[in-house]
Structure 1
Amino acid sequence: MTSPNFILNRHLGRGQFWLYTLLGGVYTVASGCLVSKMGMPGALMAVVAPVAFLLVLLVLMEPRWGLLLYVQLSFMLGFTRFIQTDVPVGLLIDGLLVLTVFSLFLNGQRMEWQRLRSLTFTLIALWLLYTLIELINPEAPYRPAWFYHVRPFSLHWFLVACIILVVPLTRRDVQIFVNTWLIWSFLAALWAFKQHYLGLTPAEVDWLNSGFNARTHMLFGQLRCFSFYSDAAQFGAEMAGVTLVALIRVFEERKPLIKGAYVLLTLVFFWGYAVSGTRSALFVLAAGFVFYLLLKRDVPKLLVGMALAVPLFLLLMYTSVGSSNYQVQRMRSALTPMNDPSFLLRLQNQEKLKTYLQDLPFGAGIGTSTDMGARFSPWHWAAQIPPDSWYVELWIETGWVGVTLYILMLLGLVGIGSYRVWQLKDPWLSMVMYGFLAEFVGIALMGYSNPVLGQFPTSSVIFISTILVATCNRWDTAPAAQNTVTESSIPPKPDWYEAI
């Protein structure tokens, strides 16, 4: 058996060890200088710098590492609440995606470029093109703000689509993504339970006391738990989404032990959704599960699902059962929006927006509403009326032309995904794609009441899952052939692998 030292000496040579000794000495001296001048931040930089350098090398050698890191960073952004820093952490994701796309060209010979010739990529590219044209919208009061909102609107989705379509991903990569999502969601639910039953950390209390966070997260003396996500609405949407995915696995799994594990996960995630107090997330579950039953085209299951769901909704709408429980009452109020003052206020705001936008088919310009509008053009009408909805935000910034194009893109992706899923023969792959597609439909419908489609980590999960569903046929295998390993089923080894 060849020893690691033999391999290292063979490729690097014994004479080059002086170089590593010199680099180690330089790093030690530089670390000492950073610590002496900057204290704890300098020590943190000394630790993070070599790790970041190693990760950059890994992404350049293997683009799928960039995709995996993108998922992790999307979930980790919420932890910036606990770190006092002026570094624009969100820009790290932009840099990572651009670095991963650059890696595609570095490893171009083994990338599957022909997959870009697809309807899925065309739809996303057309939406990106429209948002790029919005840069010259003459109505925009401050055009540099365009950069901040074009990223969640279209740019990230386009870059993720390029990566997933071109990189030769395997079934194992899909499984890693699913497991990563479930693990992060489980940890998020546990942290929300800590907030609900044990209390908040000092950093979380400071966050509540800043801006309008306390007004939206402390209602009638009850905390809307937000875990380590951006806010309670984002957390509730994610919990409802993973509840739906876990519930579908309960219906689809055949092994009792695995089915039981997903039953427990469903309960954990559902209670995570409940303590968030996000009423509109209930429609992620309702709409997503109905869509799943329609995808299955299984009439008996559809009837059983309706038999279970309809009485539950009637119980919430027309009785007072469980009203003493705050979480149940929040769910009940979601089904009677016309009795909700906040919903009526949204309708009033939308009537005001109709007046402003009636002669602006292309909107007021990307970056004119919500946080960027308040930051760069607070005097403008678009920054003074809260959209309270992802589609209303798109309407303000891109006009009825933009929001129509966006909805058509979503419908196109749902149609392509449904067609692909119906063609699958692999039970495991079908089960996973059912969950992805149902969750996407539920989150898309929830976008009417909350801007979760443009927030991490929901946006990252949606960007990845929609492209995986649209191209799921590349991993499809017949049930009898699932355990058969052939030469064609083994992914090609990267160029750098031969040098090891």
Structure 2
Amino acid sequence: MLAMLLALFSVKIYFASGLLVILGIVGLPVALLIVFRPAFGVKLLVFLVYVMGTLIMLFPSLPIGIVIDLFILLLTLGRVLQDLNDKKFRLFKAPLVFSLALWVLWHLIELFNPIAASRVAWFYVVRPGIGYIMLFFVTYGLIKTKKDVKQMVYLCWGLSVLSAIWGIISVGQNYFDFEMRYLVAQDALKLVFIAGRYRAFGTMATPAQFGVITAQMGILAIVLLSAKYKWYQKLVFLVGIGVLFYGMAISGTRTGVVMIPVGAIFVVLLARNVKVYILTLIGGAFFAVLMVLPIQNYHVRRMQTAFSPEKDASYEVRMKNRERIKPFIYSHPMGGGLGTTGVWGKRFSPNTMLANFPPDSGYMRIAVEMGWVGLIIYLILWASITIKAMLGGWKVKDKEMKVIVAAIIASMLPLSVAEYAQDIIGKLPSNLLFWVWIGILFKAIKIGQETNDDDERILEGQQEPENAN
């Protein structure tokens, strides 16, 4: 009866009013659930992040940024309430605190950048730049057991596979009707149609984000295969790997291809085992041959250009743009100000030089907007994440956590290389998922170090020497 009355109210009075009522009825219990069950709230947020692109295409006026901000606020509140209940404030008791504090501080200092064209743009950029980092602290604090770690890993991996399946089906029929309408309305068809082919973007709205995330999760699953799973579980992983890498291929995003050998390097560094070196060498040789063989398949040929950028016209354009902007970067230690390039630059300072500069790299965007000082701080943050993760990974004793830690490191740390070619972490949904994954990684390391199981290599059955750690 209530549903019928709401439907009648929506049609007869005003659709938006009825929708607000429905959102109020559903939203209030969900908000309370997030606050008092924040562990569930994090999983719900991850699901929302994965379907965000599709939601935006279905409902272009949906204030997704506000929804995300509200989610993070409620999760943080729930985490603080847990600390108050335990009479211990542990929200910021986590790794990376110093480097993260430095990164946040520089964002705040940028408010006083004397040449910044817009303070409003600063506000729009600083919200995710600082607010999304809270997901690291919240996720790290809410994960308490091996079971929690595995649930989060499998959830993200499963949603990635589903997104890849969606992308494969969507491209197979030249996009769903609502996707095509959105792309036409946003004048974005030129970004997803290359060489007579549509690029897959799954449920993530952009091919670049989709291609990188599918590559990450494919790498993750390859490493997880070395754990002690049953045969049918490994079969699921194998099928998922095929789906993910095919999704990456049809996304047209070559950055994901580069991440595969980089991920293999991290696995080798963690394994410290001759057999792993041999297997990696064999796999690397196969990959290298695939990248140089004169194969006529379009997707393979496009991936091959990732390792010969000099043959790509867009690469030449990028290099020229970077050379042109270098004098500005050298002479402006604070940069031009947050939000002076890209979408925000065109919106809030459209007549400036930086608004028309294409920030085709995460590092380049930071160098232009936050100056060479900001770039150094960002590199310090990446160095801190990499060094702490590698050192912590070497000390993990629990055999199951060792594999999971290796899988996350192999799939996440290559983003430090991907940022050179794409602005990945600075955009949705990666800027949200990144901090969730870093929280999972460091808690998995902590849990793995606190167990008393015998040490074990990445590959099952390969025992370490007693003095390996």
| Structure 2 residue 45 is matched with structure 1 residue 70 | yes
For the residues of structure 2 that align with 1:246 and 1:338, how far apart are their CA atoms? 32
Match in the other structure for 2:195: 220
Identify the residue that residue 446 of structure 1 maps to in structure 2: 418
Aligned to 1:305: 280
- Provide the residue aligned with 1:387 in structure 2: 359
Question: Structure 1 length as normaliser, TM-score?
Answer: 0.85
Where does 1:238-257 land on structure 2 (aligned, <5 Å)?
A: 238-257=213-232
Distance 2:143 2:222 in 1: 30
- Determine if contact 1:145/1:372 at 8 Å carries over to the other structure: yes
Aligned to 2:12: 36
Q: CA–CA distance in 1 between the matches of 2:80 and 2:287?
A: 53
Question: Contact 1:112 / 1:167 at 8 angstroms: preserved in 2?
Answer: no
2:440 maps to what in 1? Answer: 468
Q: CA RMSD in A?
A: 2.4
> What residue is the counterpart of 2:316 in the other structure?
344
- In the other structure, the counterpart of 2:119 is 143
Name the aligned partner's letter for residue 373 of structure 2: V
**Are positions 1:130 and 2:111 aligned together?**
no
Give distance in 1, aligned partners of 2:417 and 2:68. Answer: 26
* Residues 52-111 of structure 1: CA deviation (Å, up to 9, x unaligned): 111111122122233222212211211234324423212211111112212233332237
1:279 to 249, 254, 257: 254
Q: Secondary structure at the match of 1:243?
A: helix
**SS at structure 1 position matched to 2:152:** helix
1:259 paired to 2:259:
no
Distance in 2 (CA, whole Å) between partners of 1:280 and 1:118 is 31
Residues of 1 paired with 2:186 and 2:25: CA distance? 37
Please state whether the residue corresponding to 1:94 is helix, strand or coil: helix
1:317-339 per-residue CA deviation (whole Å, 9 max, x = no partner) reads 3x31x22x111011111111011
Match of 1:103 in 2: 78
- The CA deviation string for residues 190-244 of structure 1, in whole angstroms up to 9 with x for no partner, is 1111123233122222233345522221111111111121211111001100100
Runs of 4+ in 1 over 6 A off after TM superposition: 27-31
**Cα 1:101/1:118, change in 2 over 3 Å:** closer
Q: 1:254 to 1:298 in 2, by over 3 A?
A: farther
CA distance in 2, matches of 1:348, 1:461: 32
Match of 2:170 among 195, 202, 210: 195
Quick check: 1:459 aligned with 2:412? no
Query: Aligned runs of 1:54-69 on 2, under 5 Å?
Result: 54-69=29-44
Which whole-Å deviations, capped at 9, do the CAs of 1:19-75 have from their partners, x for residues lacking one? Answer: xxxxx98x9877754443223x44443433222111111122122233222212211
> Match for 2:383 among 408, 411, 428?
411
Counterpart-to-counterpart distance in 1, 2:88 and 2:144: 10
What's the offset of the Cα at 1:410?
Answer: 1.0
Instruction: Using the TM superposition, name which of 174-183 and 89-98 deviates more.
Output: 174-183
Query: 8 Å contact 1:128–1:155 — kept in the other structure?
Result: no
| Distance (whole Å) between structure 2 residues aligned to residue 449 and residue 287 of structure 1 | 14
8 A Cα contact 1:111 1:168, kept in partner? no
CA offsets 1:146-200 (integer angstroms, 9 cap, x no match): 122223433311x113313443633332222112212211111111111232331
Count of residues paired in the alignment: 452
| Distance in 2 separating the partners of 1:352 and 1:301 | 44
Q: How does 1:21-32 map to 2 (within 5 A)?
A: none
> 8 Å contact 1:130–1:402 — kept in the other structure?
yes
TM-fit CA distance, 1:373: 0.5
Give the whole-Å Cα distance in 2 for the aligned partners of 1:470 and 1:204. Answer: 37
Identity of aligned residues (%): 25
Q: 2:395 aligned with 1:423, yes or no?
A: yes
CA distance in 2, matches of 1:330, 1:344: 16
Q: Secondary structure in 2 aligned to 1:386? A: coil
Q: Normalized against structure 2, the TM-score is what?
A: 0.90
Greater displacement, 85-94 / 383-392: 85-94
* Contact residue 185 and residue 239 of structure 1 kept, 8 A: yes
Q: How does 1:479-498 map to 2 (within 5 A)?
A: 479=453
Give the aligned residue type for 2:92: L
Indicate which of 330, 337, 340 corresponds to 1:365.
Answer: 337
- Structure 1 residues 179 and 165: CA distance shift in structure 2, 3 A: closer
The amino acid of 2:398's aligned partner reads: D
| Corresponding residue SS for 2:324 | helix
Aligned-partner SS, 2:117? coil
Alpha-carbon contact 2:56-2:64 (below 8 Å) kept: no
**Aligned positions of 1:307-322 closer than 5 A:** 307-317=282-292, 319-320=293-294, 322=295
Correspondent of 2:347 among 354, 366, 375? 375
| Distance change in 2, residues 1:361/1:228 (3 Å) | same
Which residue matches 1:478? 452
Alpha carbons 1:236, 1:274 under 8 Å: kept: yes
Go from structure 1 to structure 2 and tell me whether the alpha carbon gap of 1:77 and 1:111 turns closer, same or farther (over 3 Å shift).
farther
SS in 1 for 2:13: helix
Distance in 2, Cα, partners of 1:36 & 1:292: 61
Can you give the 5+ residue segments of structure 1 that lack an aligned partner in the other structure?
A: 1-23, 481-500
Q: Distance in 1 between matches of 2:24 and 2:330?
A: 52
Whole-angstrom CA distance in 2 between matches of 1:360 and 1:102:
38
User: Counterparts of 1:432 and 1:154 in 2: how far apart (Å)?
Assistant: 28
**Structure 1, 468-477 or 446-455: larger mean CA deviation:** 468-477
**Letter in structure 2 aligned against 1:444:** S
Quick check: 2:80–2:91 contact (8 Å CA) kept in 1? no
Distance 1:254 1:186, change over 3 A: closer
Distance 2:290 2:41 in 1: 47
Distance (whole Å) between structure 2 residues aligned to residue 247 and residue 407 of structure 1:
28
Asked if the contact 1:420/1:471 (under 8 Å) is kept, the reply is: no
Distance 2:62 2:184 in 1: 22
